[in-house]
Structures are given as C-alpha cells and as structure tokens.
C-alpha cells in the first residue's frame, strides 16, 4: 500500500499546485518533464528485465500473454470501460469546455457542478484505468516494491497539475478512486504472496520490466503505439511456466 499512499500524496500536491499556479507552467515544460520520465521508465524497465534467469520464459510469457490479451481484447476493454464510465457519470457533459468558468459561473450553478464531476471523473479514469496501475499495484502487493507506482505517482502528479488548472477542485477528489482501486489490487496480490516462489517472482519482474519499456515507448515517448494492456496476462503466464518447468524437473 506504500505506493498507493505515495500516489495519493502526489495527486494532492500536483492538483493543489495546478489550482493556484497551473497557468504559469508552459506546455513545453510539461512535455520535457514527461519525456524525461519516459527515458527513465525505459531504462528502469530494461534493468528489471535482467532479473530473469531464463529469458526464454520471458519470451514465452510475452507471446502467450499477448495472444491471450488480443483474444480477450484487454486494451479495448480498458478503453471501453473508461468511455462507459464517462458516459455514465458525466452524462451529457462530455463536451464541456476544459476552461475555468467565468465569475458568473462560480456560484454553484449546474455548470460549476458539472465541471466538478468532469474533473473528478477525468482524473479518476486517467489515474486508474491503465497497465501501470495494475502492474504497479501487483508489484507493491506481492513484494512491497513500489518503484513502479513511484513512477506512476510522478506522472499522476504532473497530470493532476494540468487537470486541476482547467477542471478545478474535483481532480483532487480522484484520490479516493486511486486509493480504492490500487489498494484493492495490492491487497488481492498480497493474498497469493505465500505461493509465489523466488524464481516465479524473478520472471514476473522481468516481464513487468518489458511492459514498462513498452509503456515508455508507446505512451511517454510516443515512438510507436503498443497495446501494452494486451500483454498484462503475461504477468500471470510467467509464474505458471516456472511452475510447469519445476513440476517437470527442469530448473527454470
């Protein structure tokens, strides 16, 4: 849960800065910061890959997991979930301008309320519907390693700054969603900690490192699109391959 708590703190800090000083940060600064985080994430993912003791297990996990993910259309499902939640809770306000209301709209009028809901919803979706949320929360719950969520926390902090500058205080309340979603995943992951052996964990970590690399290439550095969400099943395939090899008497 440490990573989730850190994530909550950075969203609150970033959102607060955005509310009061957001307009003073030019877009080029934000782009440079995100690119820097992308470079770091790529390097960190490569470093995690080298925890593997058998790269063929990682390759097999990615291939099998990717096929399963494409079959189940996980990436599309995550996107559809986000779109459904926006329609469900934002109602007809999907086209609400992302600009601060004028003085005449700050008196509790319906438009102000809609802006609050849109800020809360938009931030909640961005912070909670994505591969890094799942990957980081699982790692935090299984091993207590919150490095992945620390990267996410920095990203979310800057995103909260940008959102709060245009969508208002509702962005800060998205920390409730972050706490519930990531906390639940981490707690569930902690329940299977007893059956995960060190070799299983090493291969899961290596697979997770490649997913981080893919996330950096696709979303942060925008080099080329990769459906990283469809590779999430690889995190479960890796320990299963290790278990199968162990059962067959083959050292993984």
Query: Does residue 126 or residue 173 have the better pLDDT?
Result: 173
Two tokens at 105?
A: 């709209």
Two tokens at 107?
A: 């008196």
Two tokens at 169?
A: 């205080």
- Report the C-alpha gap between 238 and 226 in whole angstroms: 20
63-67, 68-72, 248-252: lowest mean pLDDT where? 248-252
Under the banding of pLDDT at 50, 70 and 90, the label for residue 110 is very low
Nearest CA-CA partner of 157 in 2, 1, 59, 16:
16
Q: What is the pLDDT of residue 80?
A: 80
Q: Is the dihedral of CA 44, 48, 49, 50 positive or negative?
A: positive
Two tokens at 66?
A: 């990717």
Highest mean pLDDT among 3-17, 87-101, 193-207: 3-17
What are 191-207's pLDDT values in tens digits?
988 888 999 999 999 99
Query: Does residue 1 or residue 237 have the better pLDDT?
Result: 237
What are 219-241's pLDDT values in tens digits?
888 899 999 889 999 999 999 99
What are 66-88's pLDDT values in tens digits?
999 999 998 888 778 767 766 77
Nearest CA-CA partner of 203 in 64, 74, 77:
64
User: Could you tell me the pTM of the whole model?
Assistant: 0.77
Q: In a 10 Å sphere around its CB, with 0-12 CB exposed, 13-18 middle and 19+ buried, how is residue 198 labelled?
A: exposed
DSSP notation for 87-106: HHHHGGGTT--SSPPPGGG-
Q: Are 42 and 215 within 8 A, CB to CB?
A: no
Under the banding of pLDDT at 50, 70 and 90, the label for residue 91 is low
Rounded mean pLDDT of 5-9? 96
Mean of per-residue pLDDT scores for the chain: 84
Rounded mean pLDDT of 97-114? 43
Rounded mean pLDDT of 120-129? 82
Under the banding of pLDDT at 50, 70 and 90, the label for residue 96 is very low
Using the predicted structure, report yes or no on whether residue 98 has a pLDDT greater than 60.
no
Q: What is the pLDDT of residue 85?
A: 67
């Amino acid at each position: 849960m440490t990573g989730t708590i850190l994530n909550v703190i950075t969203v609150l800090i970033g959102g607060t800065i955005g509310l009061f000083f957001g307009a003073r940060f030019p877009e080029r600064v934000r782009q440079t910061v995100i690119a820097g985080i992308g470079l770091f994430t790529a390097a960190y993912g490569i470093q995690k890959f080298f925890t593997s003791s058998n790269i063929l297990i990682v390759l097999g996990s990615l291939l099998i997991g990717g096929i399963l993910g494409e079959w189940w259309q996980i990436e599309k499902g995550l996107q559809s979930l986000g779109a459904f939640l926006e329609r469900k809770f934002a109602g007809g306000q999907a086209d609400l301008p992302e600009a601060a209301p004028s003085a005449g709209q700050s008196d509790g009028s319906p438009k102000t309320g809609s802006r609050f809901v849109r800020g809360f919803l938009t931030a909640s979706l961005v912070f909670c519907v994505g591969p890094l949320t799942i990957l980081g929360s699982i790692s935090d719950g299984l091993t207590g390693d919150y490095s992945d969520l620390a990267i996410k926390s920095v990203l979310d902090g800057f995103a909260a700054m940008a959102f709060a500058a245009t969508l208002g205080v509702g962005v800060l309340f998205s920390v409730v969603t972050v706490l519930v979603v990531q906390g639940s995943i981490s707690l569930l992951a902690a329940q299977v900690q007893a059956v995960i052996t060190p070799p299983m964990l090493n291969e899961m970590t290596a697979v997770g490192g490649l997913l981080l690399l893919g996330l950096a290439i696709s979303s942060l550095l925008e080099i080329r699109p990769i459906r990283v969400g469809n590779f999430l099943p690889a995190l479960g395939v890796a320990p299963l391959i290790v278990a199968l090899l162990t059962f067959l008497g083959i050292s993984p």
